Protein backbone atom coordinates (compact mmCIF):
# COMPACT_ATOMS: atom_id res chain seq x y z
CA UNK A 1 0.00 0.00 0.00
CA UNK A 2 1.41 3.38 -1.01
CA UNK A 3 2.43 5.75 1.71
CA UNK A 4 -0.12 8.51 2.29
CA UNK A 5 1.00 11.97 1.14
CA UNK A 6 2.24 14.24 3.89
CA UNK A 7 2.57 18.02 4.03
CA UNK A 8 5.52 19.82 5.56
CA UNK A 9 4.99 23.51 6.09
CA UNK A 10 7.98 25.65 5.23
CA UNK A 11 9.03 28.87 6.95
CA UNK A 12 7.70 32.10 5.54
CA UNK A 13 9.61 32.84 2.37
CA UNK A 14 9.13 36.59 2.42
CA UNK A 15 12.86 37.02 2.72
CA UNK A 16 13.45 34.70 -0.20
CA UNK A 17 13.28 37.37 -2.86
CA UNK A 18 14.91 36.77 -6.16
CA UNK A 19 14.57 38.84 -9.28
CA UNK A 20 11.76 37.71 -11.54
CA UNK A 21 13.48 39.30 -14.53
CA UNK A 22 14.63 35.89 -15.73
CA UNK A 23 11.11 34.53 -15.80
CA UNK A 24 10.07 34.15 -19.39
CA UNK A 25 6.40 33.86 -18.52
CA UNK A 26 5.20 37.35 -19.47
CA UNK A 27 1.67 38.53 -18.90
CA UNK A 28 1.83 40.70 -22.00
CA UNK A 29 2.17 37.58 -24.12
CA UNK A 30 -1.02 35.98 -22.89
CA UNK A 31 -3.41 35.51 -25.79
CA UNK A 32 -6.45 34.98 -23.66
CA UNK A 33 -7.40 31.63 -25.22
CA UNK A 34 -9.33 29.70 -22.61
CA UNK A 35 -10.35 26.03 -22.63
CA UNK A 36 -12.96 25.24 -19.99
CA UNK A 37 -14.96 22.15 -19.09
CA UNK A 38 -18.04 22.64 -16.94
CA UNK A 39 -17.79 22.69 -13.16
CA UNK A 40 -21.10 20.83 -13.21
CA UNK A 41 -19.19 17.55 -12.97
CA UNK A 42 -19.69 17.95 -9.24
CA UNK A 43 -23.11 17.94 -7.66
CA UNK A 44 -21.77 20.49 -5.18
CA UNK A 45 -20.67 22.93 -7.87
CA UNK A 46 -22.42 26.28 -7.73
CA UNK A 47 -21.87 29.59 -9.52
CA UNK A 48 -18.81 31.36 -8.15
CA UNK A 49 -19.55 34.47 -6.10
CA UNK A 50 -18.09 37.60 -7.70
CA UNK A 51 -14.94 39.39 -6.59
CA UNK A 52 -14.21 42.85 -8.06
CA UNK A 53 -15.94 41.85 -11.29
CA UNK A 54 -16.37 45.47 -12.37
CA UNK A 55 -12.57 45.89 -12.41
CA UNK A 56 -11.68 42.54 -13.96
CA UNK A 57 -14.56 41.90 -16.37
CA UNK A 58 -13.85 40.61 -19.89
CA UNK A 59 -14.06 43.43 -22.39
CA UNK A 60 -14.96 41.26 -25.35
CA UNK A 61 -15.43 37.58 -26.20
CA UNK A 62 -13.97 36.91 -29.63
CA UNK A 63 -15.38 33.39 -29.87
CA UNK A 64 -17.65 31.20 -27.78
CA UNK A 65 -18.83 27.63 -28.36
CA UNK A 66 -20.04 24.50 -26.58
CA UNK A 67 -22.42 26.40 -24.35
CA UNK A 68 -19.65 28.63 -23.02
CA UNK A 69 -17.20 25.81 -22.26
CA UNK A 70 -14.87 27.13 -24.98
CA UNK A 71 -14.03 30.83 -25.02
CA UNK A 72 -11.51 33.05 -26.82
CA UNK A 73 -11.15 36.34 -24.95
CA UNK A 74 -9.83 39.63 -26.33
CA UNK A 75 -6.65 40.77 -24.54
CA UNK A 76 -4.89 44.12 -24.88
CA UNK A 77 -1.81 44.87 -22.82
CA UNK A 78 -2.41 48.62 -22.52
CA UNK A 79 -5.97 48.22 -21.27
CA UNK A 80 -5.80 44.96 -19.31
CA UNK A 81 -2.41 45.37 -17.59
CA UNK A 82 -0.73 48.75 -18.00
CA UNK A 83 -3.77 50.82 -17.06
CA UNK A 84 -4.10 48.82 -13.85
CA UNK A 85 -0.54 49.42 -12.64
CA UNK A 86 0.70 52.05 -10.24
CA UNK A 87 4.28 51.03 -11.05
CA UNK A 88 4.44 49.56 -14.59
CA UNK A 89 4.85 45.75 -14.57
CA UNK A 90 5.66 45.78 -10.85
CA UNK A 91 2.76 46.96 -8.70
CA UNK A 92 -0.94 47.10 -9.47
CA UNK A 93 -3.13 49.86 -8.06
CA UNK A 94 -4.32 49.11 -4.54
CA UNK A 95 -8.00 48.95 -5.55
CA UNK A 96 -7.34 45.70 -7.44
CA UNK A 97 -6.12 43.65 -4.48
CA UNK A 98 -7.37 42.47 -1.09
CA UNK A 99 -4.53 41.20 1.08
CA UNK A 100 -6.57 39.57 3.85
CA UNK A 101 -6.35 36.35 1.86
CA UNK A 102 -2.68 36.03 2.89
CA UNK A 103 -3.88 34.91 6.33
CA UNK A 104 -4.86 31.56 4.79
CA UNK A 105 -1.78 31.23 2.56
CA UNK A 106 1.04 28.81 3.38
CA UNK A 107 4.15 27.43 1.71
CA UNK A 108 4.53 23.69 2.12
CA UNK A 109 6.17 20.64 0.62
CA UNK A 110 3.82 17.81 -0.26
CA UNK A 111 5.20 14.28 -0.16
CA UNK A 112 3.77 13.08 -3.46
CA UNK A 113 5.20 10.05 -5.22
CA UNK A 114 8.95 9.56 -4.91
CA UNK A 115 9.85 13.20 -4.38
CA UNK A 116 8.39 16.21 -2.63
CA UNK A 117 6.55 19.00 -4.44
CA UNK A 118 6.88 22.58 -3.20
CA UNK A 119 3.59 24.46 -3.36
CA UNK A 120 1.92 27.62 -2.18
CA UNK A 121 -1.57 26.77 -0.94
CA UNK A 122 -4.30 29.33 -0.35
CA UNK A 123 -7.36 27.98 1.42
CA UNK A 124 -8.11 24.79 3.35
CA UNK A 125 -6.10 21.60 2.82
CA UNK A 126 -9.25 19.47 3.16
CA UNK A 127 -12.88 19.71 2.13
CA UNK A 128 -12.48 22.35 -0.61
CA UNK A 129 -15.56 22.94 -2.77
CA UNK A 130 -13.19 23.07 -5.75
CA UNK A 131 -9.46 23.37 -6.41
CA UNK A 132 -7.55 25.57 -8.86
CA UNK A 133 -3.95 24.69 -9.77
CA UNK A 134 -1.74 27.19 -11.62
CA UNK A 135 1.31 25.99 -13.57
CA UNK A 136 3.97 28.64 -14.28
CA UNK A 137 6.22 28.87 -17.33
CA UNK A 138 9.97 28.42 -17.75
CA UNK A 139 12.07 30.12 -15.10
CA UNK A 140 9.19 30.46 -12.65
CA UNK A 141 8.30 28.80 -9.38
CA UNK A 142 5.47 28.85 -6.84
CA UNK A 143 6.09 32.51 -5.99
CA UNK A 144 4.89 33.60 -9.42
CA UNK A 145 1.38 32.24 -8.94
CA UNK A 146 1.15 33.77 -5.47
CA UNK A 147 2.27 37.28 -6.45
CA UNK A 148 -0.42 39.70 -5.30
CA UNK A 149 0.76 42.90 -6.97
CA UNK A 150 2.24 41.89 -10.32
CA UNK A 151 0.33 40.82 -13.45
CA UNK A 152 -2.48 43.30 -12.95
CA UNK A 153 -3.62 41.78 -9.66
CA UNK A 154 -4.91 38.67 -11.42
CA UNK A 155 -3.36 36.18 -9.00
CA UNK A 156 -4.66 38.06 -5.97
CA UNK A 157 -8.13 37.98 -7.50
CA UNK A 158 -7.83 34.26 -8.20
CA UNK A 159 -6.80 33.59 -4.60
CA UNK A 160 -9.70 35.64 -3.27
CA UNK A 161 -12.21 33.98 -5.60
CA UNK A 162 -11.11 30.58 -4.35
CA UNK A 163 -11.27 31.47 -0.66
CA UNK A 164 -14.58 33.35 -0.63
CA UNK A 165 -16.18 30.42 -2.44
CA UNK A 166 -14.81 27.69 -0.19
CA UNK A 167 -12.18 26.59 -2.67
CA UNK A 168 -8.42 26.04 -2.54
CA UNK A 169 -5.71 27.42 -4.81
CA UNK A 170 -2.36 25.70 -5.42
CA UNK A 171 0.70 27.21 -7.11
CA UNK A 172 3.36 24.46 -7.32
CA UNK A 173 7.02 24.81 -8.31
CA UNK A 174 7.38 22.67 -11.44
CA UNK A 175 10.91 21.27 -11.79
CA UNK A 176 10.66 20.33 -15.45
CA UNK A 177 8.19 20.44 -18.32
CA UNK A 178 8.61 16.83 -19.34
CA UNK A 179 7.12 13.50 -18.24
CA UNK A 180 8.52 13.92 -14.73
CA UNK A 181 6.83 17.30 -14.38
CA UNK A 182 3.57 15.87 -15.68
CA UNK A 183 3.81 13.07 -13.12
CA UNK A 184 4.28 15.61 -10.29
CA UNK A 185 1.24 17.62 -11.33
CA UNK A 186 -0.81 14.49 -11.92
CA UNK A 187 -0.06 13.45 -8.34
CA UNK A 188 -1.11 16.91 -7.10
CA UNK A 189 -4.40 16.67 -9.00
CA UNK A 190 -5.19 13.30 -7.43
CA UNK A 191 -4.11 14.60 -4.02
CA UNK A 192 -6.36 17.67 -4.29
CA UNK A 193 -9.32 15.61 -5.48
CA UNK A 194 -8.94 13.16 -2.61
CA UNK A 195 -8.51 15.89 0.02
CA UNK A 196 -11.61 17.70 -1.27
CA UNK A 197 -13.74 14.57 -1.25
CA UNK A 198 -14.13 14.52 -5.02
CA UNK A 199 -14.58 18.23 -5.70
CA UNK A 200 -13.68 19.46 -9.21
CA UNK A 201 -10.08 20.44 -9.97
CA UNK A 202 -9.32 23.16 -12.52
CA UNK A 203 -5.83 23.07 -14.08
CA UNK A 204 -4.44 26.31 -15.52
CA UNK A 205 -1.16 26.38 -17.47
CA UNK A 206 0.73 29.45 -18.70
CA UNK A 207 3.37 29.75 -21.41
CA UNK A 208 5.72 26.73 -21.40
CA UNK A 209 3.64 25.29 -18.57
CA UNK A 210 1.09 24.33 -21.23
CA UNK A 211 3.28 21.28 -21.91
CA UNK A 212 2.13 20.06 -18.51
CA UNK A 213 -1.54 20.55 -19.40
CA UNK A 214 -1.21 18.68 -22.69
CA UNK A 215 0.62 15.87 -20.92
CA UNK A 216 -2.08 15.66 -18.24
CA UNK A 217 -4.73 15.49 -20.98
CA UNK A 218 -3.29 12.10 -21.97
CA UNK A 219 -3.53 10.64 -18.47
CA UNK A 220 -6.89 9.04 -17.88
CA UNK A 221 -6.57 8.96 -14.09
CA UNK A 222 -5.74 12.66 -13.87
CA UNK A 223 -8.38 13.67 -16.41
CA UNK A 224 -11.07 11.85 -14.46
CA UNK A 225 -10.45 14.24 -11.54
CA UNK A 226 -10.45 17.40 -13.68
CA UNK A 227 -13.40 19.75 -13.93
CA UNK A 228 -11.66 22.02 -16.44
CA UNK A 229 -8.43 23.12 -18.08
CA UNK A 230 -7.16 26.55 -19.12
CA UNK A 231 -4.29 27.36 -21.51
CA UNK A 232 -2.76 30.87 -21.33
CA UNK A 233 -0.33 31.95 -24.01
CA UNK A 234 1.12 28.49 -24.54
CA UNK A 235 1.74 26.48 -27.72
CA UNK A 236 -1.20 24.48 -29.00
CA UNK A 237 -1.30 20.69 -29.14
CA UNK A 238 -2.48 19.61 -32.60
CA UNK A 239 -3.40 16.17 -31.25
CA UNK A 240 -5.66 17.47 -28.48
CA UNK A 241 -9.21 16.13 -28.70
Q: Sign of dihedral through CA atoms 7, 10, 14, 19?
A: negative
- Asked if residue 137 has pLDDT above 70, the reply is yes
Which pTM was predicted?
0.77
- Asked if residue 4 has pLDDT above 60, the reply is no
104 vs 39: CA distance, rounded Å: 24
184 vs 174: CA distance, rounded Å: 8
Average pLDDT, the chain: 81
- Asked if residue 132 has pLDDT above 80, the reply is yes
Hey, where are the domains in the chain? 24-232
pLDDT of amino acid 90: 87
CB 40: neighbour CB atoms within 10 A? 11
199 vs 1: CA distance, rounded Å: 24
Helix (H) or strand (E) holding 185: helix 179-196
Tell me which DSSP letter residue 46 carries.
-
**Residue range 34-62: average pLDDT?**
64
The radius of gyration of the chain from alpha carbons, rounded to an integer in Å, stands at 17
In the chain, the percentage of residues whose pLDDT exceeds 70 is 80
pLDDT of amino acid 235: 84
Q: Between 132 and 44, name the one with better pLDDT.
A: 132
User: Nearest-CA neighbor of 203 among 211, 240, 241?
Assistant: 211
pLDDT of amino acid 13: 41
Task: Please report which confidence band the pLDDT of residue 210 belongs to, taking 50, 70 and 90 as the band edges.
Answer: very high
Residues constituting the chain: 241
33 vs 45: CA distance, rounded Å: 24
| Helices and strands counted in the chain (H then E) | 7, 12
Tell me which DSSP letter residue 162 carries.
H
Of 15-24, 50-59, 189-198, highest mean pLDDT: 189-198
Amino acid sequence: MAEAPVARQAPNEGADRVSMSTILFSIRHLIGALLFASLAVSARAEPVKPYKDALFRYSKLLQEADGGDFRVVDYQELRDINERDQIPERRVKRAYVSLGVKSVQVNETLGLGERGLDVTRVGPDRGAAFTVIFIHGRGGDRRLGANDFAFGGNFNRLKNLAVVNGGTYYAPSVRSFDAAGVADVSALIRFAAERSGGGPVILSCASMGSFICWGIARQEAAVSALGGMMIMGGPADPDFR
